[in-house]
Amino acid sequence: MDKISLNELQFYGYHGLFPEERKLGQRFHVDLELFLDLKQAGQSDKMEDSIHYGEVYQLVRSIVEGEPKNLIEAVAESVAEKLLQTFPLLQACRVVVVKPNPPIDGQYRSVAVEIYRENQR
């Protein structure tokens, strides 16, 4: 299946279980894979036959920078649900939400969750 990838979208949000996460906030990165048939867009060269990347970015931004959630799992689920509701051509999506600096002891690059959801139309 064809896909559109948006890589390492960066936002500042207030998600987390700890009070300091909700007060101070932190960076979040989001990777997306949007699965849809791109043949028509490739042939027609018309935006209505694809998905507008700028609209996707703004939708994800509104969620990640919006209402705080306890878990990045809930952030990912909200992003996937809203994408599938908003873009009729979207057949499925993979959403990765990365917390580069979670408040845990130890050495690591980041923590992340990844989900895959399909449109149930």
Say how far apart CA 21 and CA 119 lie, in whole Å: 32
Residue 110 β-bridge partners: none
pLDDT digits (tens, 9 = 90+) for 11-33: 999 999 999 999 999 999 999 99
User: Under a CB-based contact definition with an 8 Å cutoff, are residues 8 and 75 in contact?
Assistant: no
Among the listed residues 46, 69, 82, 99, the single catalytic one is: 99
What CATH number should be reported for the domain whose range is 3-118? 3.30.1130.10
Place of tokens 């999506």: 93
Return all residues near 62 (Cβ < 8 A) that are at least 6 apart: none
- Is 82 one of the catalytic residues? no
pLDDT digits (tens, 9 = 90+) for 37-84: 999 999 999 999 999 999 999 999 999 999 999 999 999 999 999 999
pTM: 0.95
